[in-house]
Chain A
């Protein structure tokens, strides 16, 4: 008897083929080696690295994290070894995994730094895609690139000329209309958008009368932000044609499915990696089961397939 093929979890994001749609979010998975031994990394759909800048960055003043109701604030401040050390020390381990590797990059002072980074990474065949972190809330900037549709458009247009690699634009939820920014990214040639980055937040120690974070405020993540993220994915899905990588408080299969139904083609697990390093693999098998049980052959049968709620 021929074994019935299992459900097809593969998805395409621009030129990027993923064997399954479960990735790990930038900043929550280090450079993967930190998780070696805690889960079978090769089973992940893709890995998005911690953001790299041109020069090494020491990051923000501690304390850098604090727990909040069903969530956490962080203000790491893009601590990273810089592109040279990343390529020399971190990339070899990632290459060996044989799964798509997505490098998150950011500029510190001048958006032109994105171009320098993209040109460097474009030459490295082991790198599958570049994620543009234009939405980090912890750089003490008055305005982020992703808070301005024109700046977003200008940056991605410039980068599009420099690389044919899959470009993923990571969007901030701290905006009036995230769909407008997503549209600008699409028009400029971004292959996909990833949303949401953390929500700006602050927590106060009333006994000490100080903020709980050394840099006063930070980015909120975890299940507390999930409904905000799901709504934004749904809004963006209804406005754009390029694929969406959905994230924000995904803790299990059910929460991952919310994002697919809202219109995400793939999802990223973020804060949950800190609590349960193996959760992404549980979600992959949970998705397989959900699809098998529901007779769903392909993920495209559920992406954005929301029905009206009738009481």
Chain B
């Protein structure tokens, strides 16, 4: 796999809604090589504070452009949101091991994949849905309120069927997206399904448990604070059946049954 230190030019950096932002930058090398589930390490400015890069999931690529969506939650992401078109950002990528998915050609296999996104977790799953050619995965989106729902249109334009859960019930199912998943699995025959998920850790833990109870394979994309992002510092480890694994290098995507959290 090709990974490089790059200077990339920001094409656009706009607020989507709430605290969610959409960043597009020019980088043919990353656009060519990126796979769904991989991420980039972005230096948000050239100063020493904040010191570390920020790991951001790749949301999509088109031509020589790379798209990221991120939530402004602290100083680093705040500074990133201030970097307008024309600014050059220091980026390393693509990094990590992405999702494993097959190219589905058999019609009977259609709908065999379920994508579960919590909040910002939609970021890599849109990219994944795009690359699952021939398959139209069922997408479950979980959000705080209807205002927080991200990427519904993008999934729709990919031909995905969408179900929504909101914490306050302002759209779709009222409650957790994992309860929606549980309901779905109890009513629909999903024996062929693989569940792909990205979102907050409690959600991912629940997805792993539900998948296991239903004898389904799951692939979960984890998020961690990272110092390096390329496997050197051993800072971002997660506990697995075979000991600690680096989220940045051995992941960020792990099989649900491997994780002991």
Contacts and interface: CB of A to CB of B under 8 A. Distances in A.
Interface of A: 27-30, 34-35, 37-38, 50, 58-59, 62-67, 69-72, 74, 76, 79, 222-223, 251, 271, 273-278
Contacts of B5: 38, 276-278
Contact of A59 (B4, B226, B227, B244): B244
A65 B225 contact: yes
Contact of A37 (B3, B229, B233, B244): B3
B28 interface: no
Interface of B: 2-5, 43, 48-53, 90, 92, 224-239, 243-244, 249
A274 B228 contact: yes
A28 B48 contact: no
A29 B227 CA distance: 12
Contacts of B229: 274
Nearest to A277: B5
B225 A223 contact: no
A28 B49 CA distance: 19
Contacts of A67: 50-52, 225
Contact of A34 (B224, B230, B238): B230
A273 B51 CA distance: 12
Contacts of A30: 231-234
A271 B51 contact: yes
Given A30-B231, A79-B234, 12 more contacts: A30-B233, A38-B5, A38-B92, A38-B230, A62-B239, A74-B227, A222-B51, A271-B227, A273-B228, A274-B53, A277-B92, A277-B230
Contact of A275 (B53, B235, B237, B243): B53
A30 B249 CA distance: 13
7 contacts: A35-B230, A58-B244, A63-B235, A67-B51, A72-B51, A273-B232, A274-B232
Interface centre among B2, B53, B225 (most CB of A within 10 A): B225
A271 B43 CA distance: 14
B233 A74 contact: yes
Contacts of A27: 233
Contacts of B232: 28-30, 34-35, 273-274
A98 B224 CA distance: 35
A274 B233 contact: yes
Contacts of A278: 5
Contact of A76 (B4, B48, B226, B233): B233
Main secondary structure of the interface of A (DSSP, over half): loop
A38 B231 CA distance: 12
A71 B5 CA distance: 21
Contacts of A34: 230-232, 249
Given A67-B225, A273-B232, A278-B5, A62 B238 contact: yes
Interface centre among A35, A66, A223, A274 (most CB of B within 10 A): A274
B234 A59 contact: yes
A35 B232 CA distance: 8
B3 A38 contact: yes
Nearest to B247: A62
Contacts of A71: 51
Given A38-B3, A58-B243, A64-B235, A275 B51 contact: yes
A65 B55 CA distance: 14
A223 B48 contact: yes
A65 B3 contact: no
A63 B235 CA distance: 7
A210 B74 CA distance: 18
A231 B56 CA distance: 38
A228 to B, nearest CB: 15
Contact of B244 (A65, A66, A79, A222): A79
Contacts of A37: 2-4
Contacts of A50: 234
A-B complex: 9 closest residue pairs judged by Cβ atoms:
A65-B235, A274-B228, A30-B232, A34-B232, A70-B49, A64-B235, A65-B227, A34-B231, A274-B227
B237 A64 contact: yes
Contacts of A35: 230, 232
A251 B48 contact: yes
A76 B51 CA distance: 19
B225 A66 contact: yes
A68 to B, nearest CB: 8
A277 B232 CA distance: 10
Contact of B234 (A69, A76, A271): A76
Nearest to A66: B225
A72 B234 contact: no
Contacts of A222: 48, 51
Nearest to A251: B48
Contacts of A223: 48, 51
A71 B243 CA distance: 28
Given A59-B237, A65-B225, A275 B231 contact: no
A70 B5 CA distance: 22
Nearest to B75: A67
Contact of B52 (A38, A59, A64, A274): A274
